[in-house]
């Protein structure tokens, strides 16, 4: 009896971790790509909020989750484009511009979203992967999820391969390591950076739309509730590696869930402590990698946050 | 010397021109002034300022306050003139907003969140001609008083429904932050359920936030996974009722009517209505009788209600809720009547003793039947 219960609890935890980790994973991957190109975009929270309201509006109008997520990605990419024009072409301070985008996104999404507050979106039934989701034990937990969960994992794989194994990925990394050298080699540094930033925005947009359309089907001001910041903490935690972003996203997503499930079965644990765990873990990892020059050299983009103007 | 003289001459010339211009205008203005005098027989409207912690479109806390502001406008018409500032963060920054509202000539100012307490108190002590109304706080002054609502009454009534409707005898609460108000609501909910079903137990999940739809949802899911089949929330979004709807369990709306978010799961909503208090406060400011008080309003004053009862509730349950509601209103029924014991069985309120407000404000423990420990 007890074992069956434990199995059921574990199964629920796995399923919940997968769905809670997905927005963090999507946003984290996008931010990884634009940081690898040497640009820090602190506007993740704002882009996610804008995408959340755009995705929700589209889902309400069309009833299609595909269109909603695509619209969210587009909204995120557009917001990132705005950031990119300022930070990359006008050489504004990346951190300040990113913060501005984060505030703008919060305010603008609230303004645009007024009419969508307290509107109801039907939750989409989960079909999952046929056959696999009928497997015993963890079959349903692992395979009866929204397709966006698998899209995020696929994206992680593709980005990992792209960055480490492809020529284009090498070019992108070169732009992040040493824009001067990349420029000397004839790479269009600023265009590569802008493309990477827009990709990052699109991923954050997917994450935001996932939250408002699939995870908690509703729109309320500020509903992203700090997940953009956790995604930003993910990239240093993952030492700028796609595979470790996956681990970090599920870890951070899982930790927040675990505290609720522990509380519900009566294990007493300080929820305030658990809430700060993601940030604590990131600081710890940063402290660790800063003591290890090899790790930093290999993965942290050397020109992260530094603007670049060709010909200077 | 010469320079100073010519400057003075210039000033004099300008002044003369201005006087001449004003003189010309004054004849035309005379008529207008007469019209104005006719209007002025009515006193100037009382200017009332509201400070909100969130946006008026939050569908929850601030939305409810703004509805009450509109009710005040409707009730008093052109005797009042209201304005509001929204999304003002708690803490020191709010002082600037309070001072702004004073500067604009507002004579009655409502601050609608706990975190304005210190700044309002500070400004109140400096501007004696203005009256301040502060929600959910405990500090007051000669020209500043507090108001709050007895949310536990709503929690108790939905508890009665929960006790009748549960099959597993396990109830769940998605709770925000462990302060006395929330602990009081959890206890009232449990007492309400126990009053009709002694076998029930309540399990609480704390999410440490007032508003985070994702966490509220996960907290609700965790409770339902452990067998809870009726949920209450003391958080702000509609995620809990929606999660219950998905899982085929029951839940209650909180602060506002949430029935349309969960047509299957929603059993009733415990709501706050600030309008009766705001009307009283404005009436006293207009007609006299305003004095420093700690107003804590509930069902009796129309500040709390349980609405949108589901068709799924049997008639006898509806009747029972109605009876208790009436009882609380006319004072024949008391929620906090001893014996009330805590988890360890310690008597917190002796048999037949009725709790005072002070006692309720100090609740930092769970009643028997709530499982788990109060977070430190």
Give pLDDT tens digits for A224-273: 888 999 899 888 888 888 998 999 999 888 887 888 888 887 777 776 77
| Total domains in the fold of chain B | 2
In degrees and rounded to multiples of 5, residue B261 shows phi and psi of: -85, -15
Q: Does B152 touch chain A if contact means CB atoms closer than 8 Å?
A: no
Strands B131-135 and B108-111: parallel
In a domain, residue B19? The reply is no
> Which of B94, B114, B149 is the C-terminal boundary of a domain?
B149
- Which residues on neighbouring strands pair with residue B148, listed in sequence order? B296
- Identify which of A84, A20, A19 has the alpha carbon closest to the alpha carbon of residue A47: A84
DSSP, collapsed to helix, strand or coil, labels residue B82 as: strand
DSSP, collapsed to helix, strand or coil, labels residue B341 as: strand
- The pLDDT of residue B162 is above 60: yes
Q: Does B227 touch chain A if contact means CB atoms closer than 8 Å?
A: no
For residue A220, what pLDDT band results from cuts at 50, 70 and 90?
confident
pLDDT of residue A122: 67
pLDDT of residue B26: 45
3-class SS letters over A1-62: CHHHHHHHHHHHHHHHHHHHHHHHHHHHHHHHHHHHCCCCCCCHHHHHHHHHHHHHHHHHHH
Structural Rg of chain A based on CA atoms: 20
Contact by Cβ (8 Å): B171, B140: no
For chain A, give the percent of residues with pLDDT over 70: 87
User: DSSP for B92-147?
Assistant: TTHHHHHHHHHHTT-SEEEE-SGGGHHHHHHHHHH-TTSEEEEES----BTTEEEE
Nearest-CB residue to A272 (from B59, B208, B213)? B208
pLDDT of residue B35: 53
Q: What is the pLDDT of residues A73-109, one digit of tens each?
A: 999 999 999 999 999 999 899 999 999 999 999 999 9
Asked whether residue B140 falls in the same domain as residue B180, the answer is no
- The pLDDT of residue A206 is above 90: yes
Range from A45-49, A144-148, B303-307, B327-331 carrying the lowest mean pLDDT: A144-148
Nearest-CB residue to A215 (from B58, B214, B260)? B214
Average pLDDT rounded to a whole number, residues B334-351: 93
**Alpha-carbon gap, residue B305 to B317, rounded angstroms:** 16
Asked whether residue B95 falls in the same domain as residue B155, the answer is no
Q: What is the pLDDT of residues B231-251, one digit of tens each?
A: 999 987 888 999 999 899 999
Nearest-CB residue to B246 (from A123, A264, A265)? A123
Q: Does A270 touch chain B if contact means CB atoms closer than 8 Å?
A: yes
For chain A, give the percent of residues with pLDDT over 90: 48
Q: Does B372 touch chain A if contact means CB atoms closer than 8 Å?
A: yes
3-class SS letters over B160-200: HHHHHHCCCCEEEEEECCCCHHHHHHHHHHHHHHHHHCCCC
Q: Does A215 touch chain B if contact means CB atoms closer than 8 Å?
A: yes
- Identify which of B39, B38, B41, B45 has the alpha carbon closest to the alpha carbon of residue B76: B45
Asked whether residue B222 falls in the same domain as residue B101, the answer is no
Asked whether residue B129 falls in the same domain as residue B164, the answer is no
pLDDT of residue A218: 85
Q: In a mutagenesis test of the B interface, which of A126, A263, A265 is the best target, namely the one with the most B β-carbons within 10 Å? A: A263
Range from A128-137, A298-307, B70-79 carrying the lowest mean pLDDT: A128-137
For residue B370, what pLDDT band results from cuts at 50, 70 and 90?
very high
Structural Rg of chain B based on CA atoms: 27
Nearest-CB residue to A218 (from B208, B213, B376)? B213
Q: Does A50 touch chain B if contact means CB atoms closer than 8 Å?
A: no
pLDDT of residue A191: 93
The alpha helices in chain A, defined as continuous H runs, are 2-36, 44-62, 65-84, 94-112, 139-143, 147-165, 167-177, 179-184, 189-209, 227-237, 242-264, 271-290, 293-299
Q: What is the pLDDT of residues A152-196, one digit of tens each?
A: 999 999 999 999 899 999 999 999 989 999 999 989 999 999 999
The domain in which residue B206 lies consists of: 151-272+304-371
Asked whether residue B167 falls in the same domain as residue B253, the answer is yes
pLDDT of residue A276: 75
| CA–CA–CA angle A10, B178, B296 (5° rounding) | 140
| CA–CA–CA angle B227, A265, B159 (5° rounding) | 50
Asked whether residue B266 falls in the same domain as residue B169, the answer is yes
Asked whether residue B70 falls in the same domain as residue B132, the answer is yes
Asked whether residue B177 falls in the same domain as residue B259, the answer is yes
Which two structure tokens, joined as six digits, stand for A183? 């420029």
Report the residue of chain A nearest B239, measured CA to CA: A216
Which two structure tokens, joined as six digits, stand for B355? 């709790």
Average pLDDT rounded to a whole number, residues B145-173: 96
In a domain, residue B186? The reply is yes
| CA–CA–CA angle B175, B176, B179 (5° rounding) | 100
- The pLDDT of residue B8 is above 60: no
**Alpha-carbon gap, residue B179 to A301, rounded angstroms:** 45
Asked whether residue B164 falls in the same domain as residue B223, the answer is yes
- Which residues on neighbouring strands pair with residue B295, listed in sequence order? B147
pLDDT of residue B211: 77
- Which run of H or E residues covers position B219? helix B213-225
Cα B300 to its chain centre, rounded Å, is 16
> Which of B132, B149, B166 is the C-terminal boundary of a domain?
B149
CATH of the domain at B131: 3.40.50.2300
Average pLDDT rounded to a whole number, residues A111-131: 72
Domains and CATH numbers, chain A: 2-299 (1.10.3470)
Average pLDDT rounded to a whole number, residues B339-368: 92
Give the single-character DSSP code of A120. -
pLDDT of residue B23: 42
> Which of B91, B119, B149 is the C-terminal boundary of a domain?
B149
| CA–CA–CA angle A153, A157, A160 (5° rounding) | 135
- Identify which of A117, A264, A118, A222 has the alpha carbon closest to the alpha carbon of residue B262: A118
Crossing angle for the helix pair A44-62 and A2-36, to the nearest 10 degrees: 110
**Is A263 in contact with B261 (Cβ distance < 8 A)?**
no
Average pLDDT rounded to a whole number, residues A281-290: 75
Q: What is the mean pLDDT of chain B?
A: 87
In a domain, residue B296? The reply is no
Angstroms from B57 CA to nearest CA on chain A: 6
Cα B249 to its chain centre, rounded Å, is 28
Asked whether residue B134 falls in the same domain as residue B159, the answer is no
- A266 or A28, higher pLDDT: A28
Contact by Cβ (8 Å): B188, B254: no
Q: Does A273 touch chain B if contact means CB atoms closer than 8 Å?
A: no
pLDDT of residue A145: 80
**Is A225 in contact with B215 (Cβ distance < 8 A)?**
yes
Asked whether residue B237 falls in the same domain as residue B352, the answer is yes
Asked whether residue B192 falls in the same domain as residue B260, the answer is yes
In a domain, residue B291? The reply is no
- The pLDDT of residue B19 is above 70: no
Q: Does B92 touch chain A if contact means CB atoms closer than 8 Å?
A: no
Contact by Cβ (8 Å): A252, A230: yes
Residues of A in Cβ contact (< 8 Å) with B207: 260, 271
């Amino acid at each position: 009896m007890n074992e069956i219960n434990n199995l059921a609890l574990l199964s629920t935890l796995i399923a919940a971790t997968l769905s809670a980790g997905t927005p963090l994973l999507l946003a984290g991957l996008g931010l990884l790509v634009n940081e690898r190109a040497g640009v820090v975009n602190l506007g993740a929270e704002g882009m996610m909020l804008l995408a959340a309201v755009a995705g929700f509006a589209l889902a309400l109008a069309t009833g299609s989750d595909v269109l909603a997520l695509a619209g969210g990605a587009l909204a995120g990419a557009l917001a990132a484009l705005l950031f990119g024009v300022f930070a990359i072409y006008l050489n504004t301070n990346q951190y300040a511009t990113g913060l501005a985008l984060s505030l703008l996104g919060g305010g603008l999404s609230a303004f645009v979203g007024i009419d969508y507050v307290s509107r109801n979106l039907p939750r989409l039934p989960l079909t999952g992967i046929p056959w696999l989701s009928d497997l015993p034990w963890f079959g349903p937990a692992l395979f009866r999820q929204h397709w966006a969960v698998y899209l995020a994992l696929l994206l992680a794989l593709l980005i990992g391969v792209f960055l480490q194994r492809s020529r284009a990925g090498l070019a992108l990394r070169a732009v992040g390591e040493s824009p001067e050298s990349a420029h000397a080699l004839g790479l269009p540094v600023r265009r590569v950076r802008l493309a990477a930033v827009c990709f990052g925005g699109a991923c954050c947009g997917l994450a935001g739309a996932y939250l408002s359309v699939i995870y908690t089907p509703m729109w309320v001001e500020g509903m992203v509730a700090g997940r953009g910041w956790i995604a930003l903490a993910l990239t240093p935690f993952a030492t700028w590696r796609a595979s470790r972003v996956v681990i970090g996203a599920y870890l951070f997503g899982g930790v927040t869930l675990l505290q609720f499930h522990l509380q519900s079965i009566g294990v007493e644990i300080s929820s305030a402590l658990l809430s700060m765990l993601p940030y604590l873990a990131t600081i710890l990892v940063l402290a660790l990698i800063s003591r290890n020059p090899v790790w930093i050299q290999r993965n942290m983009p050397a020109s992260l946050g530094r603007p670049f103007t060709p010909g200077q | 010397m010469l320079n100073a003289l010519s400057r003075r001459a210039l000033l004099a010339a300008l002044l003369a021109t201005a006087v001449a211009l004003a003189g010309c205008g004054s004849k035309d203005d005379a008529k207008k002034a007469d019209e104005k005098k006719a209007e002025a027989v009515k006193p100037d409207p009382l200017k009332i300022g509201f400070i909100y912690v969130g946006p008026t479109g939050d569908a929850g806390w601030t939305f409810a306050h703004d509805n009450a502001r509109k009710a005040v406008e409707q009730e008093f018409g052109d005797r009042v003139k209201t304005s509001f500032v929204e999304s003002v963060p708690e803490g020191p920054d709010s002082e600037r907003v309070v001072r702004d509202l004073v500067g604009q000539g507002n004579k009655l100012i409502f601050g609608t969140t706990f975190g304005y307490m210190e700044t309002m108190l500070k400004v109140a002590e400096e501007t004696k001609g203005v009256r301040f109304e502060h929600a959910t706080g405990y500090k007051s002054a000669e020209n500043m008083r507090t108001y709050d609502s007895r949310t536990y009454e709503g929690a108790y009534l939905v508890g009665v429904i929960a006790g009748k409707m549960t099959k597993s005898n396990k109830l769940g609460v998605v709770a925000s932050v462990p302060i006395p108000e929330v602990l009081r609501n959890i206890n009232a909910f449990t007492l309400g359920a126990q009053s009709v079903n002694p076998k029930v137990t309540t399990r609480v999940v704390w999410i440490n936030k007032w508003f985070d739809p994702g966490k509220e949802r996960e907290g609700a899911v965790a409770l339902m996974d452990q067998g809870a089949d009726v949920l209450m929330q003391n958080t702000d979004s509609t995620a809990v009722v929606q999660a219950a709807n998905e899982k085929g369990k029951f839940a209650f709306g909180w602060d506002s009517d949430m029935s349309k978010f969960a047509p299957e799961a929603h059993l009733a909503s415990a709501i706050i209505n600030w309008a009766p208090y705001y009307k009283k406060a404005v009436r006293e400011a207009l007609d006299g009788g305003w004095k420093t008080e700690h107003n804590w309003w509930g069902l009796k004053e129309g500040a709390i209600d349980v609405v949108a009862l589901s068709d799924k509730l049997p008639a006898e349950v509806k009747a029972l809720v109605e009876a208790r509601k009436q009882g609380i209103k006319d004072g024949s029924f008391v929620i906090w009547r001893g014996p009330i014991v805590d988890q360890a069985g310690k008597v917190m309120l002796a048999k037949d003793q009725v709790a005072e407000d002070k006692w309720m404000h100090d609740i930092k423990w769970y009643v028997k039947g709530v499982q788990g420990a109060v977070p430190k």
